[in-house]
Amino acid sequence: MNGIIVSIKYGVYVVNCDNVLYNTSPRGLVKFKDKIYVGDEVIINDDNYLIEAVLPRRSLLKRPPISNIDQILLIFSLKEPEFSYYLAFKYLTYASFNGVKASLVLTKADKSNEKEINEIKEVFNKIHVDTYVTSSKDHSGVEEIKALFKNKITVLIGQSGVGKSSLLNAIDESFLRDVGEYSLALGRGKHKTKEVILLPYQGGYIADTPGFSSLELEMSKLEIAQYFPSFEKDALECFYSNCLHISEKNCKIKARVDSGDIPPIAYKCYLELLEESERK
């Protein structure tokens, strides 16, 4: 039987085969050959129900650990915690490096104002990153989000406390995801989702993932220069093949920055990512 791993917890692999869930484990040779991820498509033995093989993957993220995803929704709250351009561009770079399309979802719109929201949307629309605004309090924007999931495996990524679980419950109340609280004193959210889990929805799956406070880019400076959002194509046309888009001559990226095609805040975040990479 063919199926997909929808969760892994305490050594138990839950596999969905034609809408029937099997609690199983990998056959020895499979288990030690390679790590198995949520999202892996597998073959299960019809007799003992052990996982016999993992099929080739079309995508893989190491954090959160999940495979075969079609798209990433990066969840950022407008308030509590405050929206961070730096983290947004960092996550977008991570998605680009892994070859997965990513969009932004801004939550807690009821705690922000129209001016701030429009300023953020303008920055990301300029570099062709789809941006959605929602409020789980009054469900505004939720219907637009729902349309993104049909027949796709989508992973939700974001810091603790940004509202991933609240958004999931607004999308489908049957998900019953535990909602964490945001601590004003600590300035961060509390972890509620403890593991990666695939939730079936509209012919595909939505992956809920544990929130995290930081994400390390295991990328070189040249890779950041290549995969930073909206740099991918023009970076290859710079005069120097190892151009870091700082002060090199005939740099296509710097020309776009100077012309206003790339927003100043985006370029500022790019330089910060390069600086962070140098400190590693």
Instruction: For residue range 261-276, list pLDDT tens digits in order.
Output: 999 999 999 999 999 8
Q: Beta strands 2-9 and 12-17: pairing type? A: antiparallel
pLDDT band at 279 (very low <50, low <70, confident <90, very high): low
Q: Has residue 181 got a pLDDT over 90?
A: no
Nearest to 76 by CA among 274, 269, 211: 211
Q: With left for phi above 0 and alpha for psi between -120 and 50, is residue 182 left, alpha or beta?
A: beta
The mean per-residue pLDDT over the stretch 136-152 comes to 89
Residue entry with tokens 């950022």:
76
What's the pLDDT score for residue 82? 92
Percent of the chain with pLDDT over 90: 65
Higher pLDDT, 205 or 29: 205
* The predicted structure's pLDDT at residue 213: 62
pLDDT at 243: 95
Q: Report pLDDT for 182.
A: 34
Predicted local confidence at residue 251, as pLDDT: 95
pLDDT per residue over 145-168, tens digit each? 999 999 999 999 988 788 888 888
Q: What domains are defined for the chain?
A: 2-54 (2.40.50.140), 60-208 (3.40.50.300), 221-279 (1.10.40.50)
pLDDT in tens, 21-46: 999 998 876 666 678 999 999 999 98
Over residues 210-244, the pLDDT tens digits come to: 866 667 888 999 999 999 999 988 888 899 989 99
pLDDT at 72 over 90: yes
Which is more confident, 52 or 191?
52
Q: Is the pLDDT of residue 180 over 50?
A: no
Question: What pLDDT does 149 receive?
Answer: 94
Does residue 190 register a pLDDT over 70? no
Whether pLDDT at 62 is above 50 = yes
pLDDT-based confidence at residue 173 (cuts at 50, 70, 90): confident
Give the Å distances, CA to CA, from 117 to 62, 81, 124.
31, 15, 11
d(CA 216, CA 209): 17
Which pLDDT belongs to residue 212? 66
Interatomic CA distance for residues 226 and 96, integer angstroms? 9
Going by DSSP bridges, is the β-strand pair 204-208/41-44 parallel, antiparallel, or unpaired? unpaired
Residues 42-55 have a mean pLDDT of 92
